Amino acid sequence: MTMAKAWREEDRSERSQGGRRPEERLHAMLKPKNIRFRALEKVKVRPRSLVQICLQRVAENFLQYDNLHAKLGRKQLEDVYAMLDLDMPLPEAALRINDENYWKRRTQAKHPNAQVEKHGMSWKQTYLEIELQEALERVPITVEYGNPELEALKQQVMASRLYVYQLQITQFPSHLDLSFIFDALPALCTFSITYGNKRLGMDYERAMFGMKISDAQYLARDIRVSQTLVSLSLPCNMIDDELVKVLMGGLSYGHMLTHLDLSHNKIGDRGARRLASLLDPDYCLQALDLSDNQIHANGCMHLGAHLAENITCQVLNLRLNRCEDNGVSHLFQDMCVNKHLQTLNIACNDLTVRCLPYLNAMLAENGTLLELDVSANPLHQVEEEGVHQGVDLRSCGLPADVAQRVTTAVKHRELIAKGIPVEAYEKARQAAVAAEEAAQAAREAAEKEEQLGEGEDEDGEEKAEGKAEEEKAEGEAEKPEAEEEKKEGE
């Protein structure tokens, strides 16, 4: 429709309605009208509003604004966070952004395999903990104080200080003092570190692995000053008895420590004797993992002696040691007194049949132990080695009473896990056993009656046969007499 044609139609309508002034007609012509564009409606495209353009501008210059939460509404803040760049410097982002959706996008973009349930169900905590862990694992072997990389790491630690609760450093090639981490992280509860490098290739050097005396001294100081550390894990650090002595300078002050993992090291009897003091009533240790070490009978005996008076420890792992029959027998005797330990792993400790009487006595006295692992031990006679190959207790050649106690304990554990009362199960089982015994007695009585009936039938048959023979003999005896009488009559 052309402008002239529109003017003529407007003029006709005004004439029919009595006419309007020229300025009114001009205003009506210039008034915007709702023009429908079917192409735009089909693809549902709408131009951005002025508000969206402004929010996009704010997102592009986010670091230049302060206190945006006081200037923008909740919905506007969410829109700004959705437009933010994911490559924003971490120290600035950690201090300024608390939106979980932003941290979720950033975490999934850089760490797609991250599991938020392992980091307190917080995406911000997940991202900051993983980033700090990877930054520590990238620290070079030799680093000097004042190095730009070290200063950037300290700045990252300070920016993440309120959101880092756990650190799991799987490799730490440097021997740097980590005191700045413990001093700056007031909420650090779980700490795990392994000194060394996983992938060296042809650059392998023996000195690059394991914890040194200086590392143990730094760590002992950090444990001593920490007020929140509850879980400490130091696996695969080549810790020996001397390093344990140094670490005890800090562990002896760790009254908040509940989990201690020193597995895959070189701890011997002297180190185990020192660590056994952590099982005293002054501490609250709940899980102690000393698997894959060099603990012999003496160290096991000291652990058992302190375990007898312990009321907090629930898990003790001594797998892959050399405790042997002597040490484990004393441990079983002390466990007869302990009523709190629930899991004990003594697999692969060179145990033989000589410790079975002590195991039997412990199972009879201890009613709280839920899990007992004695696999990979030669609990059988040497001549029976070819027969007992499995780790199943039913195939280990245990005495019948020990096997019965183990079976009962395992059954009770399954019932507890399913929420079934053990007492009700035992009553039902005893009633079933009594009914079976009664049925067996009834069957035996019926068999006896049948046997008695068969005996009476045999006696009756013998009596009948005897009577028939007597009658036959009498008949034969009477026959000659009758013949003689007949002859006399003739």
Q: Whole-angstrom Cα distance, residue 205 to residue 352?
A: 40
Helix (H, G, I), strand (E, B) or coil at 185: coil
* Per-residue pLDDT tens digits for 294-331: 999 999 999 999 999 999 999 999 999 999 999 999 99
Tokens 């549902």 sit on residue: 44
pLDDT for position 282: 93
Task: State both tokens at 146.
Answer: 């004042």
Task: State both tokens at 17.
Answer: 């309605």
Task: State both tokens at 9.
Answer: 């139609």
* Per-residue pLDDT tens digits for 111-153: 999 999 999 999 999 999 999 999 999 998 888 777 888 999 9
Element (H, E) at 117: none
pLDDT for position 318: 98
Residue 390 in domain: yes
User: Residue 178: which domain range?
Assistant: 154-200+207-426
* Per-residue pLDDT tens digits for 352-382: 999 999 999 999 999 899 999 999 999 876 5
Reply yes or no on whether the pLDDT at 403 is more than 90.
Answer: no
Reply yes or no on whether the pLDDT at 477 is more than 90.
Answer: no
Q: Whole-angstrom Cα distance, residue 81 to residue 46?
A: 22
Residue 212 in domain: yes
pTM of the model: 0.72
Q: Whole-angstrom Cα distance, residue 322 to residue 300?
A: 9
For the chain, give the longest Cα–Cα distance: 184
Q: Which is nearest to 359 in space by CA: 390, 394, 381, 330?
A: 330
Residue 367 in domain: yes
Average pLDDT taken over every residue of the chain = 85
**CATH classification at residue 188:** 3.80.10.10
Residues in the chain: 490
Q: Which is nearest to 298 in space by CA: 322, 262, 265?
A: 322
Q: Whole-angstrom Cα distance, residue 306 to residue 165?
A: 31
Taking the CB of residue 244, how many other CB atoms lie within 10 A of it? 22
Reply yes or no on whether the pLDDT at 350 is more than 80.
Answer: yes
Residue 324 in domain: yes
Beta 343-345 vs 315-317: how paired, if at all? Answer: parallel
Residue 131 in domain: no
pLDDT for position 357: 93
Contact (Cβ atoms closer than 8 angstroms) between residue 153 and residue 136: yes
Reply yes or no on whether the pLDDT at 399 is more than 90.
Answer: no
* Domains contained in the chain, number: 1
pLDDT for position 201: 80
Rg of the chain (C-alpha set):
45
Least confident residue range of 24-33, 103-112, 401-410: 24-33
For 428-455, what is the mean pLDDT?
A: 84
* Per-residue pLDDT tens digits for 15-63: 555 555 555 654 555 455 555 556 656 656 567 888 899 999 999 999 9
What end-to-end distance do the CA atoms of the chain give, in Å? 170
Residue 189 in domain: yes
Helix (H, G, I), strand (E, B) or coil at 316: strand
pLDDT for position 207: 80
Residue 338 in domain: yes
CB hemisphere CA count around 38 (13 angstroms): 0
* Per-residue pLDDT tens digits for 192-201: 999 998 888 8
Q: Whole-angstrom Cα distance, residue 233 to residue 134?
A: 18
Sign, CA torsion 204/206/210/214: negative
Residue 406 in domain: yes
Task: State both tokens at 92.
Answer: 């600035």
Task: State both tokens at 360.
Answer: 């039997």
